[in-house]
Amino acid sequence: MYHGGGLACEGVPLEEIAREVGTPAYVYSAGAMRARLREFHEAFADRPALFCYAVKANHNLAVIRNLARVGAGADTVSGGEIERALAAGVPPERIVFAGVAKTDDEIRFALSTGVLQLNVESVPELMRIDAVARELQLRAPVAFRINPDVDAGTLSKISTGRKGDKFGVPFDEAADLYALAAGLEGINPVGLHLHIGSQITRLDPFAAAYRRGIELLRTIRAAGIPLRRLDLGGGFGVRYKNEEPVPASAFAALVQGLTAGLDVELVFEPGRALVAEAGALVASVIYRKESGGRRFLILDAGMNVLIRPALYDAWHDVLPLAEPRPEAHLEPMDVVGPICESSDIFGRDRYLPLLDAGDRVAFLSAGAYGSVMASDYNSRVSAAEVLVDGDRWAVVKPGLAPSRQFADETIPDWLAAGPEGD
């Protein structure tokens, strides 16, 4: 919040970072990320669990490292994410490999790396994992991702646990699939996995899904397959606007109740909950303009940098970096990006002081699914990423100029020479 007249991240004024690094820039608080993980660890002190940070939320190596140093594992969905987790120092035995469809190369890489488990989403995938594992002469530790057919009550575009969603295997077929898996030479069924969606702010969808998962785990154990691990996914909501997310202690109480007397290793895969509120996107005003009876604030960051508003109509609070004077007159403004797309809008009718070219703003709760979903669309300088830790800070990814973005593109010989227009 505001300190000494300006927004700050931990001890560092955002204006100082923007001045030195340029904008757009994502700024993350390392301390806030660790504090969120600590909250989970403390809540689950009586029922220890492995928290595998879903690196898809923010895969910057420094962000992963910051969490890994205080005990996080990694939930990964591609060979590339496994590489990132390893590069950031996550031990393989704390890495879960999930993802909708894994290629042979990714399966081979995961198995030879020795990850904790592979979460399987289909029978064809199970068969490929079996084949690759036999080729490597080992048994792949797997969990089926089961679809519990529970509506998470979140945005449709980020719901994953309803019947007919593309994720996981149907609940009703799971027992048969475990029996099939147990008979495969290259497969060792070790766990059960579920994840019903993201940005869930109520407890009851979790309760319903967890209950179904535990029921199935008991059924499968009773059938003689000794599953030892229950991976209950992520999806814990955060505050963007006026949501009231469920506290970690409430999850802990729920899980403790549901798993009482059950000897099972617990895994969770929180992404957003660990990093979203710890990050802000800082942008500068290019112009303010009035058109068609509306006032637009046009920034140097757009949907190329933070796509969530354009893609999901997601809300991010926007604040001026300089604290408005108490008497400042606030005006409704459409806060937009510079991208040539009508959907490049961060928010309509946001009440802000009359900012001008060069003034800066920050979008809050932008630490998750921000930089990772950015693109080079319209060839603008990409957003830098900065990690703040107390009064220290470092650029953990530079903003790339367009010439760096196209540095690896080539023009084939037959186009490089010769006259134009022949």
Q: Which residues bind ligand LLP (CB under 6 A)?
A: 54, 57, 75, 98, 158, 195, 198-199, 233-236, 269-273, 308, 369
Residue with tokens 């089926």: 144
Cβ partners under 8 Å of residue 314, min gap 6:
240, 308
User: What CA–CA distance (Å, rounded) separates 53 from 61?
Assistant: 12
Question: Is omega for the bond preceding 24 within 30 degrees of 0, making it cis?
Answer: yes
Supply φ then ψ for residue 141, to 5 degrees.
Answer: -75, 115
Q: Closer to ligand LLP at the Cβ: 144 or 393?
A: 144
Q: Considering the complex, what minimum distance in angstroms separates the CB of residue 369 from ligand LLP?
A: 3
Helix/strand/coil for 297:
strand
Q: Closer to ligand LLP at the Cβ: 10 or 121?
A: 121
Q: Considering the complex, what minimum distance in angstroms separates the CB of residue 193 from ligand LLP?
A: 8
Q: Considering the complex, what minimum distance in angstroms separates the CB of residue 273 from ligand LLP?
A: 6
DSSP letter at 387? E
Q: Closer to ligand LLP at the Cβ: 298 or 373?
A: 373
User: What CA–CA distance (Å, rounded) separates 369 from 51?
Assistant: 19
Q: Which amino acid is at 396?
A: V
Answer for the pair 133, 186: CB distance below 8 angstroms, yes or no: yes
Residues tagged active-site: 340
DSSP letter at 88? T
User: What CA–CA distance (Å, rounded) separates 213 from 207?
Assistant: 10
Q: Considering the complex, what minimum distance in angstroms separates the CB of residue 33 from ligand LLP?
A: 13
Q: Closer to ligand LLP at the Cβ: 141 or 234?
A: 234
Q: Considering the complex, what minimum distance in angstroms separates the CB of residue 406 from ligand LLP?
A: 26
Q: Closer to ligand LLP at the Cβ: 77 or 107?
A: 77
